[in-house]
Amino acid sequence: MTRGVLIFAHNNRDVDYALMSLISASLAKKNLQLPVSLVTDDTTLDWMKESDIFEKANDVFDQIIITDKPKTDNSRKLHDGANSKFVPFVNLNRNQAYELTPYDQTLLIDSDYLIFSDNLNNYWGYSDRVLLGRAINDIVGPRRLGYHDRYVSDTGVHLYWATTVMFTKNEYAKSFFEVLSYVKENYQYFADLFRFQVRNYRNDIAFSIAQHIIDGFETKSEMHLPGVFSFIDKDVLYSVDKHGKMLFLVNVTADEKYFPTTVKDLDVHIMNKASIVRNAEQLLELI
Amino acid sequence: MNFGYLLIVDQQEENCPDYAKMAYALALSIKNTQKPGYDQVAIVINNKKYLARFKSLWVFDHIIEWSDKTFWDGRSYMDRLTPFENTICLDVDMIFLRDYSHYVDYFIENCDLYVTNKSYTYRGEIVTGNHYRKTFEKNQLPNLYSFYTFFKNSAEISMEFFPLVRNITEYPKEFSNIFLSEHKPKILGTDEAFALSAKILGIQDDISYDLEFPKIVHLKPMIQNWPWPAELVTHHVGLYLNKQGQLKIGNYSQTGIVHYVEKEFINDENLNVLEELAWKK
């Protein structure tokens, strides 16, 4: 049975998802000792060639799978520490992971999820479920999280985090991804049913609803992937040393005060994408 | 095995919730979901005339007329009123949605007296909110819920526990003044009386240790982990009982026991669903 990691990356004019996926893939490959494949599109591939990372990408990625870039009007406010701007983002084809993955067992991760441990290798045995990140696990703790970081809506279902998803090619996972596609295609209907406001299509929500439906409209306490240890985009990855110790500036309160903290040997979700890109060289040197 | 569920009803004439109707619905749901031998139901009611309107009185295996006490006070006599050797006494505003016979086996085999110590939100989370439990918290009472109480009539611990519950119920002011001085309840209800009795006797760990069952969803509005205060659960989520007797609350299927609290849930339509299922069984 083959195992591997899958990452989706579709560049936009502001965020270099290709470079982030290369960093994320390199770390996953090193620390999980697994092959990593990329799902991307022609324009992103062209950019990889133009920005001189294509050769490295060919070296790191087991397979580069080209697919159509989904058309979307999705945009969101993305912070880089105290600064922010609205940027488009392409996230509409994660439901195709089941069809696109070249592996029997797949760990699907976001390109801003950096793996520094082999912890996730402990979960491959649970092949009878699609495993999702149980919740967000913020560096500051629950007080910085909002209600809708835990629930899809005020009265609605538990919010899983699709930053990490693990599945095995079997009938169960096939059904899961079929339901996920159905939710995606009928997103407004499910927004009405599950009572959340549609600003953009959000994978976390779609995966959570699919899980809820597949679980028989219950929140089951069965196996999930660990909480996604996260730094929000108001935090800044300031530096990375040669031993992999990352120095973050953490925006603990709502004001401008930042506190330094370091993280090492932990898998980490860094939502400030610009700060990953700024530290690309140091991160790639860790490989 | 001599086991059954006991429902105690004090039905008032006017402008009062129809507890007899709720007890009838609960008995129907027990008959619909529990295995033969685990589905006996006894009702204690102040006047049998309140039951005459129901089509299927056979759901009550015992009908006991008793009016010595009013309102909740009769529940402190559960050990005297039950016709069973092994009893689970229930609040009547509940509904069973699946077979729990295996729990009964566990209780009979392992317990003399067991009082539930947790409840769940409709989303399946353990209730942690203390909105309705300030008396418990401030006076360090064990977190007991009397809505599901198992007891053996012959057990020594029952013979100590229930008489004290009766005493507390009889003299609520005196017991509140002495034992609940940190936060006196407006009404000393059965939950408080049970908890206080257990605390005074020092038996809380014997009668209410941690179990994964029974899983009872408690639909009081302020303990649903919602981000805002709520007056009624049904202001925010619907309760949908389908013709198969499956209940959904909001987006959540319910598969245990639901303590629905809002008495209007047992309307004629839902009662009819439960009756038809009972007739077809």
Cα of B251 to nearest chain A Cα, Å: 7
- The pLDDT, as a whole number, for residue A156 is 94
Q: Domains, chain B, ranges and CATH?
A: 3-280 (3.90.550)
Residue B122 has pLDDT above 80, yes or no: yes
The structure tokens 């009404």 sit at B187
- The pLDDT, as a whole number, for residue B74 is 86
Tell whether A251 is covered by a domain.
no
Tell whether A220 is covered by a domain.
yes
- The pLDDT, as a whole number, for residue B71 is 72
Contact B141, B192 (CB under 8 A): yes
Average pLDDT over residues A88-117: 96
Q: Which residues span the domain enclosing A84? A: 3-234+268-285
Tell whether A78 is covered by a domain.
yes
Q: Nearest chain B residue to A158 by CA: give it.
A: B123
CB contact under 8 A, B123 and A219: yes
- % pLDDT > 90, chain B: 92
CB contact under 8 A, B251 and A217: yes
> How confident is residue A198, by pLDDT bands cut at 50, 70 and 90?
very high
- The pLDDT, as a whole number, for residue B88 is 98
| Tokens encoding B118 | 């947790």
Chain A residues whose CB is inside 8 A of the B215 CB are none
Give the residue from B251, B252, B255, B258 with the most A CB atoms within 10 Å of its CB, the best one to mutate: B251
Average pLDDT over residues A237-247: 97
Tell whether A245 is covered by a domain.
no
Average pLDDT over residues A100-104: 98
Q: Tens digit of pLDDT for each residue in B76-115?
A: 999 999 999 999 999 999 999 999 999 999 999 999 999 9
Count: domains in chain A: 1
Residue A255 has pLDDT above 80, yes or no: no
Interface of B with A (CB under 8 A): 123-125, 224, 226-228, 236-237, 248, 250-253, 255
Q: Nearest chain A residue to B229 by CA: give it.
A: A154
What's chain B look like in SS3? CCEEEEEEECCCCCCCCCHHHHHHHHHHHHHHHCCCCCCCEEEEECCHHHHCCCCCHHHCCEEEECCCCCHHHHHHHHHHHCCCCEEEEECCCEEECCCCHHHHHHHHHHCCEEEECCCECCCCCECCCCCCCHHHHHCCCCCCEEEEEEEECCCHHHHHHHHHHHHHHHCHHHHHHHHCCCCCCCCCCHHHHHHHHHHHHCCHHHHCCCCCCCCEEECCHHHCCCCCCCCCHHHCCCEEECCCCCEEECCEEECCEEECCCHHHCCHHHHHHHHHHHHHC
ipTM, interface predicted TM-score of the complex: 0.88
Tell whether A175 is covered by a domain.
yes
User: Within its chain, how far is the Cα of A96 from the centroid?
Assistant: 15
| Tokens encoding B137 | 């918290």
Residue A256 has pLDDT above 90, yes or no: no
What's A43-62 look like in SS3? HHHHHHHHCCCHHHHHHHCC
Cα of A156 to nearest chain B Cα, Å: 7
Average pLDDT over residues A7-32: 96
Higher pLDDT, B16 or A282: A282
- % pLDDT > 70, chain B: 100
Nearest to B251 among A147, A157, A221 (CB): A157
Q: Nearest chain A residue to B125 by CA: give it.
A: A219
Q: Nearest chain A residue to B236 by CA: give it.
A: A155
Q: Tens digit of pLDDT for each residue in B178-204?
A: 999 999 999 999 999 999 999 999 999
Nearest to A155 among B125, B236, B248 (CB): B236
Residue B14 has pLDDT above 80, yes or no: no
Cα of B256 to nearest chain A Cα, Å: 12
> How confident is residue A75, by pLDDT bands cut at 50, 70 and 90?
confident
Tell whether A261 is covered by a domain.
no
- The pLDDT, as a whole number, for residue A220 is 83
> How confident is residue A89, by pLDDT bands cut at 50, 70 and 90?
confident
Tell whether A254 is covered by a domain.
no
> How confident is residue A108, by pLDDT bands cut at 50, 70 and 90?
very high
Q: What is the CATH number of the domain that holds A129?
A: 3.90.550
> How confident is residue A73, by pLDDT bands cut at 50, 70 and 90?
confident
Tell whether A72 is covered by a domain.
yes
Chain A residues whose CB is inside 8 A of the B237 CB are 155
Q: Compute φ and ψ for B134, nearest 5 degrees.
A: -65, -35
CB contact under 8 A, A155 and B250: yes
Q: Which ranges of A201-279 would DSSP assign to H, the alpha helix? A: 203-214, 273-278
Average pLDDT over residues B49-73: 92
Distances B254 to A11, B119, B149, B214, B245 between C-alpha atoms, Å: 44, 13, 21, 13, 11
Q: Nearest chain B residue to A193 by CA: give it.
A: B251
